[in-house]
Amino acid sequence: MTTNLLPSDLWSDVLAVREHSPLVHNITNLVVINYNANSLLAAGASPVMAHAHEEVADMVGIAQALVLNIGTLDPYWIESMRLALVAASKRGIPVVLDPVGAGATAYRNESIELLLKTALPTVIRANASEIMRVAGAAVQTRGVDSSAGVHDALASAQTLVQRTQGVVCVSGPTDHILDAKRRWARLSNGHEWMTRITGVGCSATALVGAFCAVQPDAWRATVAAMALLGVVGEVATEKMMVRGLGVGSLQIALLDELQLMDANTFERHLKLEVAPW
Amino acid sequence: MTTNLLPSDLWSDVLAVREHSPLVHNITNLVVINYNANSLLAAGASPVMAHAHEEVADMVGIAQALVLNIGTLDPYWIESMRLALVAASKRGIPVVLDPVGAGATAYRNESIELLLKTALPTVIRANASEIMRVAGAAVQTRGVDSSAGVHDALASAQTLVQRTQGVVCVSGPTDHILDAKRRWARLSNGHEWMTRITGVGCSATALVGAFCAVQPDAWRATVAAMALLGVVGEVATEKMMVRGLGVGSLQIALLDELQLMDANTFERHLKLEVAPW
Amino acid sequence: MTTNLLPSDLWSDVLAVREHSPLVHNITNLVVINYNANSLLAAGASPVMAHAHEEVADMVGIAQALVLNIGTLDPYWIESMRLALVAASKRGIPVVLDPVGAGATAYRNESIELLLKTALPTVIRANASEIMRVAGAAVQTRGVDSSAGVHDALASAQTLVQRTQGVVCVSGPTDHILDAKRRWARLSNGHEWMTRITGVGCSATALVGAFCAVQPDAWRATVAAMALLGVVGEVATEKMMVRGLGVGSLQIALLDELQLMDANTFERHLKLEVAPW
């Protein structure tokens, strides 16, 4: 298994999302539900949001990927996620899990464990303290923002990869994407301002779903999605700063760049390292 | 019954919304709830969102129009819609229904049928495949985006007009608005980018509610609302493209144009044809 | 007790929010949930939204302030608010209540009364007709927008201060902030366009929560939060008008200004009067 990955490989995945416009079923949180839909549309995917127990399995039945995000969880929505997970597992479509706020409350931890016991997701994407908590490390999450450094989370990410046999993405100033074939990608794009907009991390998760729908190598798909968002965020933040604008404008510019990003800008900005772990 | 309709008639309805600021009660989906409220406010209307069974009838009691959108339906929200529909029907205020994702799941089809059996809406606005499914035609919806052409849906729209004795609007590259008096308006404004922002179609539905609140001829009110949004979208998209901006910026520019559109720009851009069907 | 308050005092509270980034737990409405989170992030605070009965008390346990907003209330969410209120009361963290739409329906009035009987909030922030209704005055609310003038509400605000022994903020063209020590601040910043964006009032409430988390004098904290938003709105609206932009762009510019506002601009624009009542 080579761990080589060219910028042009990642760009071809960006183009595949734009061309095939995969239908991505999201059961996500109430804060980011609109921004996630707009992020998917801007990137060329087709979002659908549905949570009624009566229809989640049917909606999974026409989707190419399932994205679960527990940000504003409650018992009804967790049951929606469980039902969707069972259906996705039967159909074999990729599932991406964002365990928002893992560690903040016992209920979040129990709900994540319930989902992991239902079926193992293809990809887990979270910040450092969430990954540590999901892997079982003792860490105190501060609300939904990370209280741990990314490097602290690498051992936990490896533990989690071994449990899920899937892909784990720890996002932060550098994003780390690991899989069970011991491939390890590091992406150093993005900008701190992206953490000052709600839902950017959740949109990353949604984009990973869209990329997994068109690229069967889930590790590469995750790298491509995170690379796109990282470059988009970096380019957009630079433009905002030059114009004296702030994080409100950045939120909108991210959508513009997701739609308009070109191969040349993408490959010129990409900061990617790949190695075995 | 003349089917003549002047651009200045439609513009006078735009002004009436701005002047009277009708209170529009929305029971809508979680993805677009914010954008719909902002669209109504930008156009000069006054939105209220309320879904508790304990209060929907009371809220309908002070509203001038009711807008129902099933995008993220579940049993609680469908019951909210049913209760509101009964109250609106008793009071005789206009009701606009957006059957989002009709045909995507059996539960959506059953919920739409339940609402139609409770009371017939004044206006149904949807994309082509949704209109076909609501009318009973066999068509596979792909998530919440249309999989059928607008022309395929015209026969279904006529069937639906005959059932509801109300107005049916099939939206797409050309919007078709038909009513039981066999009036048929075609609007060819707008831009494909408008489909790359979540909630624009749903905002169209909400605006139809606002216009029906001030213009008793529901067919004319629907034409005016769709005309405004179409021209607004066309003008805004041209501006974005000139500035090298994308669909994120367009989402915001649509709100600006809804607020700032003037008679001259509106009438110059309007592409309207009216005929009997 | 001096009622003197310098612009530099208020600005130091703005800086304290940016420096300490307090965790603010919001149980708020579905329309504004995203915009409130982004407003808090732009101002430097750390928002968390959680409503599951299983976790609200735990989330309150790590938060520095609790913000309750009944805009899209239903029985589940009101119970979430009650549970959070009990937990916040035990811990002694500040609680801010936004009684959205008070008077519009009997259910809203009963729910507000239930919350007030559970524990008295540190601050109540609302428009004139809502304050009058919460205080028990006979007034007809028109949906969620105020139907009464601010001056009409001052007697009601005093009644409410006497009941809660806390801070009451009546927002409008002039904001009035009163407390049980008979301090009375009047802020005359802002612009009418701010009422044409959904969630600006609700974001004011959320910001009051953030400021109360870093400034133990809740009256001063409320004045500082309202002053920041008022100056931000005034400065942003001027910029939009110069550029021929509207309320869509203003929504975004408000977030930019919340992030980028500086002491000089803030103190130059501030229109503050302080007196006993």
Report, as an integer, the average pLDDT of C142-156: 77
CA dihedral over A265, A267, A268, A274, signed as positive or negative = positive
Backbone angles phi, psi at C25, to 5 degrees: -90, 120
Q: Tens digit of pLDDT for each residue in C87-124?
A: 999 999 999 999 999 999 999 999 999 999 999 999 99
Name every chain A residue with its beta carbon within 8 A of the beta carbon of B241: none
Residue C28: pLDDT band (50, 70, 90) is: very high
> How high is the pLDDT of residue C79?
98
Name every chain B residue with its beta carbon within 8 A of the beta carbon of C244: 260
Q: Tens digit of pLDDT for each residue in A6-43?
A: 999 999 999 999 999 999 999 999 999 999 999 999 99
Mark yes or no for CB contact C51/A35 under 8 Å: no
> How high is the pLDDT of residue C141?
61
3-class SS of residue C96: strand
Of the candidates B74, B145, B198, the beta carbon closest to that of A34 is on: B198
Mean pLDDT of chain C: 95
Host H or E run for residue C157: helix C154-164
- Cα–Cα distance measured from residue A120 to residue A165, given in angstroms and rounded to the nearest whole number: 8
Mark yes or no for CB contact B41/C245 under 8 Å: no
- Cα–Cα distance measured from residue A175 to residue A141, given in angstroms and rounded to the nearest whole number: 19
Of the candidates C30, C143, C244, the beta carbon closest to that of B48 is on: C143
Host H or E run for residue A23: strand A23-27
Residue A146: pLDDT band (50, 70, 90) is: low
DSSP state of A52: -
Interface test with A, best of C25, C255, C260, C265 (most A CBs within 10 A): C255
Instruction: State the burial class of residue A147 (Cβ atoms within 10 Å of its Cβ: 0-12, 13-18, 19+).
Output: middle
Residue B145: pLDDT band (50, 70, 90) is: low
Of the candidates C49, C76, C251, the beta carbon closest to that of A31 is on: C49
Q: Tens digit of pLDDT for each residue in B207-221?
A: 999 999 999 999 999
Give, in degrees to the nearest 5, the angle at Cα B154 between B148 and B155. Answer: 110
Mark yes or no for CB contact C31/B37 under 8 Å: yes
Interface test with A, best of B34, B107, B198 (most A CBs within 10 A): B198
Of the candidates C71, C106, C197, the beta carbon closest to that of B38 is on: C197
- Cα–Cα distance measured from residue B215 to residue C176, given in angstroms and rounded to the nearest whole number: 39
Mark yes or no for CB contact C55/A106 under 8 Å: yes
Residue B89's CB is within 10 A of a number of other CB atoms, namely 16
Closest residue in A to B73 (Cα) is A52
- In this complex, the chains that touch A, judged by 3 or more CB pairs closer than 8 A, are B, C
Strand partners, C68: C27, C97
Interface test with A, best of C33, C200, C242 (most A CBs within 10 A): C33
Residue C237: pLDDT band (50, 70, 90) is: very high
Report, as an integer, the average pLDDT of B129-151: 77
pTM for the full predicted model? 0.96
Backbone angles phi, psi at B203, to 5 degrees: -70, -35
pLDDT for residue B160 is more than 60: yes
pLDDT for residue A3 is more than 70: no
Name every chain C residue with its beta carbon within 8 A of the beta carbon of A248: 38, 42, 251-256, 258-259
Residue C77: pLDDT band (50, 70, 90) is: very high
Closest residue in A to C77 (Cα) is A74
> How high is the pLDDT of residue C259?
98
Residue C4: pLDDT band (50, 70, 90) is: confident
- For domain A7-276, give the fold: UDP-N-acetylmuramoyl-L-alanine:D-glutamate ligase (3.40.1190)
CA dihedral over B14, B15, B17, B18, signed as positive or negative = positive
Interface test with A, best of C64, C66, C232, C259 (most A CBs within 10 A): C259
Closest residue in A to B75 (Cα) is A52
Whether the CB-CB separation of B252 and C248 falls below 8 Å is answered with yes
Name every chain C residue with its beta carbon within 8 A of the beta carbon of B259: 196, 246-248
A37: its two tokens: 């839909």
Residue from A267, A230, A268 nearest A8 by CA: A267
C259: its two tokens: 């992030």
Interface of B with C (CB under 8 A): 23, 25, 30, 33-34, 37-38, 41-42, 46-55, 58-59, 62-63, 76, 251-260
For chain C, the structural domain boundaries read: 7-276
Name every chain A residue with its beta carbon within 8 A of the beta carbon of C23: 142-143
Q: Tens digit of pLDDT for each residue in A76-109?
A: 999 999 999 999 999 999 999 999 999 999 999 9
Of the candidates B51, B252, B255, the beta carbon closest to that of C72 is on: B51
- In this complex, the chains that touch B, judged by 3 or more CB pairs closer than 8 A, are A, C
Dmax over Cα atoms in chain A, in whole Å? 50
Between C87 and A143, the higher pLDDT residue:
C87
ipTM score assigned to the predicted complex: 0.95
Strand partners, B4: none
- In this complex, the chains that touch C, judged by 3 or more CB pairs closer than 8 A, are A, B
pLDDT for residue A1 is more than 80: no
Q: What is the DSSP string of C16-73?
A: HHHHH--EEEEE--TTTHHHHHHHHHHHT-EEEE---TTTHHHHHTT-SEEEEE-TT-
Strands (DSSP E) along B122-262, which ranges? 123-127, 167-171, 175-178, 183-187
pLDDT for residue A266 is more than 80: yes
> How high is the pLDDT of residue C46?
98
Mark yes or no for CB contact C260/A246 under 8 Å: yes
**Strand pairing of B175-178 and B183-187?**
antiparallel
Whether the CB-CB separation of A163 and A119 falls below 8 Å is answered with no
pLDDT for residue C144 is more than 90: no
> How high is the pLDDT of residue B189?
98
Q: What is the number of CB-based contacts under 8 A between chain A and chain C? A: 103
Interface of A with C (CB under 8 A): 29-32, 34-35, 71-75, 101, 104-108, 142-145, 196-199, 244-249, 251-252
Of the candidates B104, B199, B246, the beta carbon closest to that of A42 is on: B246
Nearest-Cα distance to chain C for B165, in Å, is 30
Mark yes or no for CB contact C249/B257 under 8 Å: no
Nearest-Cα distance to chain A for C37, in Å, is 6
Mark yes or no for CB contact B107/A58 under 8 Å: yes
Q: Which residues of C210-246 are buried (b: 16+ CB within 10 A; e: fewer)?
A: bbbbbbebbbbbbbbbbbbbbbbbbbbbeebeeeebb
Nearest-Cα distance to chain C for A30, in Å, is 7
Whether the CB-CB separation of C200 and C230 falls below 8 Å is answered with no
Report, as an integer, the average pLDDT of A154-172: 96
Report, as an integer, the average pLDDT of B118-147: 85
Residue B150: pLDDT band (50, 70, 90) is: confident
Q: Tens digit of pLDDT for each residue in A183-213?
A: 999 999 999 999 999 999 999 999 999 999 9
Mark yes or no for CB contact B34/A38 under 8 Å: no
Mean pLDDT of chain A: 95
Residue B137: pLDDT band (50, 70, 90) is: confident
Closest residue in B to A45 (Cα) is B196
